[in-house]
Chains A and B, each alone.
Chain A
Amino acid sequence: MEEFRGSQNYVASEELLRAANIAMVLQKPLLIKGEPGTGKTMLAEAIAQALNKKLIIWNIKSTTKAQDGLYVYDVVQRLYDSQFGGEGVDDIAKYVRLGKLGEAFTADEQVILLIDEIDKADLEFPNDLLWELDRMEFHIPETGETVTAKHRPVVIITSNAEKELPDAFLRRCVFHYIEFPDKELMAEIVRVHFPDLDQKLLDQVLEAFYRIRQLPQIKKKPSTSEIIDWIQALQHGGVAVDRIVKEVPYLGVLLKKNEDIDALRASWK
């Protein structure tokens, strides 16, 4: 069995690695929750890269239905074709197109399937997928065909906890909560993005960053993607290292709300 040990571009904590491997061995979906910006979506990419497997991403929106992931029967096209005398209108299979889940099932080799932000969809959405994820097969009544997974895909599901997921669904998943990285892990993560960043600059950036995160007045705390952007801005602007903690330049990159910026300016010494 292949094992995931993190990748060049993704720094994962020990716990996360364990959870990912447990999910793969047990062939259960891995459900990832965590603060925004802790790299939930990136994880699937990293796993796909590390195991050298194809990644199929199914982005969930508020209008997504479970059916969309299985297959779509394009009745309109068929109607259209039939009225203009197109070829092969009798062949329903021609009008059945597989969704992302169907694509993952029919792939010739094992793939990674990322169901991104499952909580965006309707409350019933996860329940509608129970059978399919459990048995890794679904039936297309229009053609009488049953699509069965040739190779069980590795399923990774992310959630921002906007909606509660149903118990029946949760019971089938391996769960992992990504904590916000501590200073050391964050340093490592930054290093991955900026391999030759000056150590002094990094220290200063981390100090300022974690001080900002600890301020109770800040409503929307900056996350990993913000610190990366910030370093980029600092590098680009050529800000002197000793000014970073003192003045927090380019604050707009870190804080996205006006009241947060005001609160910080008022309390920063």
Chain B
Amino acid sequence: MFEDFLYLLRRNGLKVSLTEWMALMEALDQGLHEASFTGFYHLCRCLLVKSEADFDAFDRTFLDYFQGVPFQQEVSDEMLRWLDRPNAPLGEYDEQQAELNETLSALEIETMFRERRHEQREQHNCGNYWVGTHGMSVFGNMGMSPAGIRVGGESRSRRAFRVAGERRYRDFRQDNVLDTRQLQVAFRRLRQFSGLVDLPETEFDVDNTIRDTAENAGVLKVRYKKPRQNTVKVLLLMDSGGSMEYYGSLCSTLFHAVSKTGHFKDLKIYYFHNCPYTRLYKDPTLDPNHALPVSWVLSNIAPEYKVIFVGDAQMHPYELFDPFPVVKEGEPESGLDCLRRFKDRYRHIVWLNPGDRPTWGEEWTETYDTIDRLFPMFPLTVGGLEEGMKKLLAR
């Protein structure tokens, strides 16, 4: 029927499958849309969309596709003919009526509209009761009511409140920046049970011992299983100070989420400023008394650690490219060299960036682009974090 809609949804990033589409067709067959446009909207949404994060995208697509279909099933052709007078003069603005209209809830307007559709026998315009044009009633078109349903005609003052037009679910979109809980949920993805990894079977398996013993007619048969625990170890390196102050609360949220997640086998957190040079710091104040040489970290923290850098990747190019004036034996020679050493040692590295790519100034974009080429970079949002976690788990 309107397969284009399916493809439009898919193009807009909603993963609607054929199963769901067929379910929708079946539902329409059974008349579950209750012969109304609103009903159709709800039906589509609850069958095709499976997460509130996608509601906003769905609303936009729906609006996009069905914009030209003003309540076909709800309104008789006769009524639409009455309403087709775009160039008629405006009625009088009635302030009291406007205030009254604003207090009506969507449901009330909806009910009133249903009643009028049955009552109305002729054309009524510029009034405050019937479905008509240029008036103060809450339905019709070209009207002046602050709230209402547009019936026929073209949108003009954009005050019609119809469901899909409101974008009430904007807040749920996944590209929104996040709170601790959402972050924690994202970090939970970062787990790899040793059931998947090769480990000796050391843990006593009660269930299977009992089962096998019973099946063995009561003669004891002991069974062991692989211990099941998260084997992921994480090395978190956070940029601190300078341009990162701006993202302070976001980074502290991330920090809380990581440390609270608590299911990593090991978690090490170090700090740096702009780019780790030769030293990493144990606390965000970058106190030199609590610093570790990068070479120590590189040689002592095993390559199976998954490394997460957090930073805006914006600094003066010399901080990244210029060689250090004094280089100790075995220490990195420049900021970039230091990052390369990380890349060589650790297979799984992602860079989470709380900011966007700068739109001005070559100096700033140069370091951003260099780091972006070096490590897979993701925005520090729910979606970005999830992508990043997937990258870290990829074998």
- Mark A residues whose CB is within 8 Å of B: 14-15, 18-19, 21-22, 25-26, 28, 31, 33, 75-76, 78-79, 82-83, 161-165, 167, 170-177, 179, 184
Interface segment, B24-32, B83-91, B128-136, B339-347?
B24-32
The interface residues of chain B lying within 8 Å CB-to-CB of A165 are 50
The interface residues of chain A lying within 8 Å CB-to-CB of B211 are 75
B12 at interface, CB cutoff 8 A: no
Contacting residue for B27 out of A14, A25, A162, CB 8 A: A25
The residue of chain A having its C-beta at the shortest distance from the C-beta of B19 within the complex is: A171
Alpha-carbon gap, A180 to B50, bound state (A): 18
| Nearest CB in chain B: distance from A75 CB, A | 4
Alpha-carbon gap, A187 to B50, bound state (A): 29
A82 and B218 in contact, given A173-B50, A175-B49 (Cβ under 8 angstroms): yes
Q: Is the CB of A25 within 8 A of B214?
A: no
Interface segment, B38-46, B143-151, B290-298, B323-331?
B38-46
Q: Is the CB of B52 within 8 A of A79?
A: no
| Nearest CB in chain B: distance from A198 CB, A | 22
| Nearest CB in chain A: distance from B62 CB, A | 14
The interface residues of chain B lying within 8 Å CB-to-CB of A19 are 42, 46
Q: Is the CB of B23 within 8 A of A28?
A: yes
Alpha-carbon gap, A163 to B182, bound state (A): 10
11 contacts between A and B (CB under 8 A): A25-B27, A26-B23, A26-B47, A31-B50, A33-B52, A79-B218, A162-B185, A174-B47, A175-B51, A179-B168, A184-B105
| Nearest CB in chain A: distance from B176 CB, A | 14
Alpha-carbon gap, A82 to B214, bound state (A): 10
| Nearest CB in chain A: distance from B203 CB, A | 16
The interface residues of chain A lying within 8 Å CB-to-CB of B39 are 18
Q: Is the CB of B17 within 8 A of A171?
A: yes
| Nearest CB in chain B: distance from A180 CB, A | 11
Alpha-carbon gap, A177 to B46, bound state (A): 9
B20 at interface, CB cutoff 8 A: yes
A171 and B20 in contact, given A18-B42, A177-B52 (Cβ under 8 angstroms): yes
The interface residues of chain B lying within 8 Å CB-to-CB of A26 are 23, 26-27, 30, 32, 47
| Nearest CB in chain A: distance from B336 CB, A | 37
Q: Is the CB of A22 within 8 A of B47?
A: yes
B374 at interface, CB cutoff 8 A: no
The interface residues of chain A lying within 8 Å CB-to-CB of B17 are 167, 171
B210 at interface, CB cutoff 8 A: yes
Q: Is the CB of B55 within 8 A of A83?
A: no
List 7 tightest A-B contacts by C-beta distance, closest first: A170-B50, A75-B214, A177-B52, A19-B46, A79-B214, A175-B50, A171-B19
